[in-house]
Structure 1
Amino acid sequence: MLPLYSKEKPEGEIEETICNCCIGEYGICIDDLGSEEKFCYIIGGSYKDGNIPEGMILYEFPEMLWAKFSCKGPLPESLQTINTKIFSEWLSCNIEYEIAMGANIEWYSKGEMSDLGYESKIWIPVKAK
């Protein structure tokens, strides 16, 4: 998880939501359909239930199939390397699947992101060709 919250006890609704939903565990990239050069980046967590404070949003992906890729090594280099391989090798050579939506999810584990053993993942929405 990203170190977005370091206080001993959360103060206020936004800080409670950050803690309760582990905000920072996910980075979500969604292509902006209005422009080829823009995308939306959401720092996310796992929503369970409860109030959504003003200034925060709830984004839900439609139900779909996801290709999941594990990554090991310091960020951002390790994720960038895997991401490049996904699009230049895996997708271009894949005869079964193609991108289902202009989006991806990055998952970040707890720990020091500069460590050689740091673990993260990239999830890409796919559909059968």
Structure 2
Amino acid sequence: MEWLTSLRGAINYMEEHLLEPVTPADIGMAVNLSPFYLQKGFQIMTGYSLGEYIRCRRLYLAAMDLLAGGNKIIDVAYKYCYQTPESFAKAFSRFHGFPPSQIEKQRGKIKIFLPLKISITIKGGYNVDYVVEKMDSFKVIGFEENIPMDRGYELCPKMWERLMEQYLTPLWQGKEPGTDIERAVAENDIGVYGVCVDSGEDSFTYMVAGPYKGGQVPDGLTVREIPAAQWARFRSPSANTDSLQALNTQIFQEWLPGNREYDLAYPVNIEYYLCTGNGMEYEIWLPVAAKEKD
């Protein structure tokens, strides 16, 4: 399914199921898109996570129900999938700035949150520097953490900062490995890859990794196999965090909506860091499959 069509379909599905418990897996199945890429793309395109969008829409509609009169707070709470009136009141107060019991006095302060309409203006088309090539399966080894889907841009750089200080920078500067982890880091070039893997409804596993070359896997490190695939490899001439995130955003906002050749294949993407004569460069790799012909 075409990328923008999938995102619009996701919004329509959420709007039709606001009164029911809904998971990213449910939404992804409805629009034939992996929950991993759906959540990643939706966050980039709209600025909201799926859960945040559903929550904001429910709380706005709940305010409209209460303002209409004749609805008890407890009934509205259950209608919009809150387990208790107390949890509803807390969420309502955080969103609108006042408790539901004050709806009549505070009607002018109700926070409006209408259904989103996704549109895009392509600036310069999808003229990013990329190639598509087939690669055999390969294994990576590294440190991994579970990251909430809506905090990736915040927590992944912090993970790099911690590991750079503790392991990577000292070893790159010539420190002799003194522990099993340090030896594994040095022997497997950990720091070459940043790997995102689907790990659940609202999170993904992020690895600071390198190509696994065999040997001992110390406690604290994990080995994963990346399947054989056709990869779209997007190149950027800078490896700072802002440039990486800007390229990632450009891929989802421009390349995916604009390309007519490829769909995303499965829920993994890789950041590849490489040293060149001009300094550090990086690539973002996405597994792709040729679109089915109409």
TM-score between the two structures when normalised by the length of structure 2: 0.39
| 1:15 counterpart SS class | helix
Q: What is the distance in 2 between the residues matched to 1:22 and 1:96?
A: 34
1:122 maps to 284
Q: What is the distance in 2 between the residues matched to 1:126 and 1:76?
A: 24
Higher share of residues assigned helix = 2
1:102 maps to 267
2:221 maps to 56
Q: Does 1:65 align with 2:230?
A: yes
What stretches of structure 2 of length at least 5 have no aligned partner? 1-162
Higher share of residues assigned strand = 1
Q: Which has the higher contact order (CA 8 A, sep 6+)?
A: 1
Q: What is the distance in 2 between the residues matched to 1:53 and 1:107?
A: 23
| 1:59 counterpart SS class | strand
Q: What is the distance in 1 between the residues matched to 2:253 and 2:241?
A: 18
Q: What is the distance in 2 between the residues matched to 1:22 and 1:93?
A: 35
Q: Does 1:24 align with 2:191?
A: yes
2:251 maps to 86
Deviation at 1:26, TM superposition (A): 0.9
8 Å Cα contact 2:239-2:282 kept in structure 1: no
- Any runs of at least 4 consecutive aligned residues in structure 1 with deviations exceeding 2 A, and if so which? none
The one-letter amino acid of 1:24's match is G
| 2:170 counterpart SS class | coil
| 2:224 counterpart SS class | coil
The one-letter amino acid of 1:71's match is S
Deviation at 1:74, TM superposition (A): 5.0
| 1:73 counterpart SS class | coil
Q: What is the distance in 1 between the residues matched to 2:220 and 2:283?
A: 27
Q: What is the distance in 1 between the residues matched to 2:237 and 2:256?
A: 20
Residue-by-residue CA offset, 1:5-26 (whole Å, 9 max, x unaligned): 4152101211100000011111
The one-letter amino acid of 2:185's match is I
What stretches of structure 1 of length at least 5 have no aligned partner? 112-116
The one-letter amino acid of 1:6's match is P
Q: What is the distance in 2 between the residues matched to 1:73 and 1:47?
A: 25
Q: What is the distance in 2 between the residues matched to 1:120 and 1:11?
A: 29
The one-letter amino acid of 1:83's match is N
Larger Rg, first or second structure (1 or 2)? 2
Indicate the percent of aligned positions where both proteins have the same amino acid. Answer: 42
1:13 maps to 180
TM-score between the two structures when normalised by the length of structure 1: 0.84
Indicate the larger mover: 4-13 or 62-71. Answer: 4-13
8 Å Cα contact 1:104-1:124 kept in structure 2: yes
Deviation at 1:55, TM superposition (A): 2.0
Root-mean-square deviation over aligned CA pairs? 2.1
